[in-house]
Structure 1
Amino acid sequence: MRRLFTVITGLILTMYLPSAFAEVPGIPALTVTPGEVDGTQEYTVTLQILALMTALTFLPAMLMMMTSFTRIIVVFAILRQALGLQSTPSNQILLGLALFLSIFIMKPVFEEANQAALQPYMSEEITSMEAVARASVPFREFMLAQTREDDLMLFMRIADVQFETPEDVSFWVLMPAFVTSELKTAFQIGFILFIPFLIIDMVVASVLMAMGMMMLSPVIISLPFKIMLFVLVDGWALIMVTLAASYGI
């Protein structure tokens, strides 16, 4: 009897539970809402969050390709090599310093993108695609201002495309041209940084050769002098000012 009651109860639950759960409203996974004005399509919040989380994986690449981070970190790496220090400051310190200096330099661009795109989007005044288009404008202006014309023409020639005005240049052409220009500028600054430390190395090596101390490594003797010179001229402040001034700040 108990077994029969269990079987009947199970059949009743099987028949009525699916219909009961079907009436419970949930979050739609895919909803496309056509715009009333221009016919554009707006996707549900679920898909927008998914797209945002996917875009975050490209954040490191975007940081290097669209900001001043590349120039700063390359200059810091060359400076450490010129001083003769292999791991001081550490990579974490250099990356953190380059990141916050990049935020300082890019602050006007971030503020303009926030006012023009993020705040209207948060207020539901514009769609997500329009917010992306508006946010790209200040970054495009920044990248165009820092990109050499010959580098831009090089990638236009590689892509076999022509643009009437710089504002019409595609992001896919502008990004590699911008990074190439940043690398050129960073190596130029690094070359200038290398000269005084190279002179110290040559002087120390010549003195050791004259004294007959050829078995003694010149790096051991020149390293304290290079650090002392760098500290006396307030090298970190000079480098920060130089990097900021290279962007017109």
Structure 2
Amino acid sequence: MTRIVRILITSLPIAILSLCGVMSGAEAQLIGDTPPGLPAFNVTGSEDGTSTYSLSLQILALMTALTVLPSLVLGMTSFTRIIIVLSILRQAMGTQQTPPNQVLVAIALFLTFFIMAPTFTQLNDMALSPYMEGTMPMETALSDGTNIMKDFLVQNTRVTDLVMFTEMAGDTTYEDPKDVPLTVLLPAFITSELKTAFQIGFLLFLPFLVIDMVIASILMSLGMMMLSPMLVALPFKLLLFVLVDGWAMTVGSLVATYAGS
């Protein structure tokens, strides 16, 4: 039994190398004109300067894109600002887990799709559709799509944040949004989104804080110190929020904060 296991362990690297297509030059000549290296990961150049990627590389790129997609949704869209504002609003109202996290994420996603619709439409018309139809090479489609996203990011990033990360990277000022590298633009955009979200959250918190202070003062004057002010203030907060149509005001204000939305 031990000998069989030893034989399997010894032959395992050889089997893996055979499956990957790693072979010597003499073996390649016996089989045919197989290119050296890993045949499953080949890039073939054409006469017009474009490159053709093997199916394995295309699948690898697709799986990588699906893995990075959640980070892109969080970091390159309006999702961050919306979810932070909604979370602060729920905390200011004192409703604990109402609306639940799943509902807040769903609202943030739908609002993100609404805000990003013009950018996504332009991205589909100018980059994705031509590439899928075969009229545009992948490198050009990727470059055009990146430039479209850069326009949105630059428009919604504070100049001070962009200048700060530009100086930290040791670069000079950029004449065009397309010249800004993503390594500088993405952290500047995230920092700007966090600052804007907390500013909006502060403004939303003020009226509910006033209600808490008024209710606490009334209860203190009545000698009801054992009664929780948050419990008494909750119905008044909900009533105020409903009377002023708070959800429409909050959602409308969030959408209006984005340029070109």
Match of 1:148 in 2: 158
Tell me which moved more, 210-219 or 126-135: 126-135
Asked if 1:29 is matched to 2:40, the reply is yes
Asked if 1:185 is matched to 2:193, the reply is no
Asked if 1:175 is matched to 2:183, the reply is no
Post-superposition offset of 1:149 = 0.6
What runs of 5+ residues in structure 1 fail to find an aligned partner?
Answer: 1-21
Post-superposition offset of 1:131 = 1.3
Post-superposition offset of 1:40 = 4.2
Q: Distance in 2 between matches of 1:166 and 1:217?
A: 56
Post-superposition offset of 1:130 = 1.7
Match of 1:76 in 2: 86
Asked if 1:237 is matched to 2:248, the reply is yes
Post-superposition offset of 1:136 = 1.1
Match of 1:158 among 145, 152, 168: 168
The SS at the match of 2:197 is helix
Match of 1:129 in 2: 139
Task: Map Cα deviations across residues 107-143 of structure 1 (whole Å, 9 max, x no partner).
Answer: 0000000011111111111222221111112210010
In structure 2, what residue type is equivalent to 1:103?
A: F
Match of 1:213 among 211, 217, 224: 224
Q: Distance in 2 between matches of 1:138 and 1:242?
A: 24
Q: Is the 8 A contact 1:34 1:41 kept in 2?
A: yes
TM-score (norm 1): 0.86
Match of 2:74 in 1: 64
Post-superposition offset of 1:44 = 1.8
Post-superposition offset of 1:48 = 1.1
Task: Map Cα deviations across residues 19-48 of structure 1 (whole Å, 9 max, x no partner).
Answer: xxx89xxxx6233221323x3433123311
In structure 1, what residue type is equivalent to 2:253?
A: T
Match of 1:92 among 63, 79, 102: 102
The SS at the match of 1:42 is strand
Q: Distance in 1 between matches of 2:212 and 2:224?
A: 15
